[in-house]
Amino acid sequence: MPTTDSPGDAGPGGVPGPEGERARPGTSAGFQAHVRAARSEFEHQIDRARADFEEVNDRINARTGRNLLMATLIGLAVGAVVLGSLLFIKWLFLVFAIPVCLLGVFEFSRALQTAGRRVDVWPQVVAGAVIMLSAFFAGHLTHWALTFGAVAAVIVWRLLAQMIASDGRRYGDVLGDVLIAGFLPLYVPFLASLALVLLRQEQGEYWVLGMLIAVVAADTGAYASGLAFGAHPMAPRISPKKTWEGFAGGAVATVIAAVLWGIFALHVPWWAGAVFGLLILGCATVGDLGESMIKRDLGIKDMSSWLPGHGGVLDRLDSILPSAAAALALYFLFFPLVTL
């Protein structure tokens, strides 16, 4: 009994029809169909990998409170600039350090204003620039004298501005404004200027870089260890996400990094590197918790949103500022060991 050709199997005279041509692997249409299927499968795999990555990234962001990918990219970019300036032409570090410090002063001043404090932003910025520049270009006594003068100037400016305003502001609020006016230049530009005092010393660039490496090691070690093992909050009322497990991981990472840097770059004994690492760890932790207390008092999460994944400039400087003072003291204590 004769069979009827099914559609697409063959046309008149037994010639394959269009559908049959697409079904045959040896034809160009069959090859194109295979390519389309492979591309569709590849796109499906990419979409699934992207969804898995976003899910994991969202869990990490929810646990740590910041965008890990953006934080890493920005950290690498900043690290490359700092590394290049310190290792090749150390005075170029000023081109990076001074503007960053003044941005920290600016955003801290604006955050205080948002919280209802009377802060004179531009006088604070000018005072910060004077303190920072004198640290590198002037002698120690001149640096201290200009720092004292800058603090006195912003306090007097605030008192005169309040007298001119005559707005009936309460005595307690005015006193608070005056204390903040004197605290701000000491907290940000003066502590940052100690890193520039260290920079101008013999081989000071290596000590500044060692301090920054120790701070980064403390932060990275605490972050990774806290993410993996964190269970016991360190200071829940100040910074709920910090744990003792994270602190322990940061301590291990900081000591290892400081010992290695001390031996191979600073040429000091291993125990001096260990002391360097432990002291920087303590100062970095105190600086981080101290800024967290300030932000909690102001009712904000970050000083600003200028650095995605990090928050504000001051949110990255909080660990560095007190560490600069410790690094400078350790330089004068341990540098004589280099010549032994």
333 with 215, same domain: the answer is yes
Last residue of a domain, one of 64, 88, 112: 88
φ and ψ at 241, to 5 degrees?
-85, -10
Does 310 map to a domain? yes
Q: How many domains, the chain? A: 3
Does 163 map to a domain? yes
215 with 191, same domain: the answer is no
Does 7 map to a domain? no
Question: Which residues form the domain of 304?
Answer: 201-339
223 with 176, same domain: the answer is no
238 with 295, same domain: the answer is yes
How far apart are alpha carbons 239 and 189 in whole angstroms? Answer: 24
Residue 235: strand pairing partners: 239
Does 271 map to a domain? yes
218 with 192, same domain: the answer is no
Does 36 map to a domain? no
314 with 238, same domain: the answer is yes
- Per-residue model confidence (pLDDT) at position 69: 61
- Per-residue model confidence (pLDDT) at position 21: 45
217 with 310, same domain: the answer is yes
How far apart are alpha carbons 66 and 236 in whole angstroms? Answer: 18
246-251: list long-range contacts, CB under 8 Å, 24+ apart: 246/221, 246/222, 247/222, 247/285, 249/221, 249/222, 249/224, 249/225, 250/217, 250/218, 250/219, 250/220, 250/221, 250/222, 250/225, 250/281, 250/285, 251/218, 251/221, 251/278, 251/281
Does 34 map to a domain? no
Token code pair at residue 139: 């002698």
- Per-residue model confidence (pLDDT) at position 4: 47
pLDDT per residue, tens digit, the chain (340 aa), is: 444 444 444 444 444 444 444 445 556 777 777 777 777 777 777 777 666 655 655 565 555 555 656 666 666 776 777 777 788 888 889 988 999 999 999 999 999 999 999 999 999 999 999 999 999 999 889 999 999 999 999 999 999 999 998 888 899 999 999 999 999 999 999 999 999 999 999 999 999 999 999 999 999 999 889 888 888 898 888 888 889 999 999 999 999 999 999 999 999 999 999 999 999 999 999 999 999 899 888 888 878 776 665 578 888 899 999 999 999 999 999 998 886 6
Cα angle 226, 232, 293; round to 5: 80
In this prediction the pTM is: 0.77
Q: Count of CB atoms within 10 A of residue 52's CB? A: 10
Q: Which element (helix H / strand E) includes 235?
A: strand 233-235
212 with 332, same domain: the answer is yes
143 with 240, same domain: the answer is no
332 with 230, same domain: the answer is yes
Last residue of a domain, one of 67, 88, 109: 88
φ and ψ at 242, to 5 degrees?
-85, 135
- Per-residue model confidence (pLDDT) at position 59: 60
229 with 128, same domain: the answer is no
188 with 291, same domain: the answer is no
Does 29 map to a domain? no
Does 247 map to a domain? yes
Q: How far is CA 253 from CA 166, 257, 327, in A?
A: 54, 6, 18
Last residue of a domain, one of 88, 105, 120: 88
DSSP type of residue 5: P
Q: How far is CA 181 from CA 116, 156, 190, 291, 338, in A?
A: 14, 9, 13, 17, 41
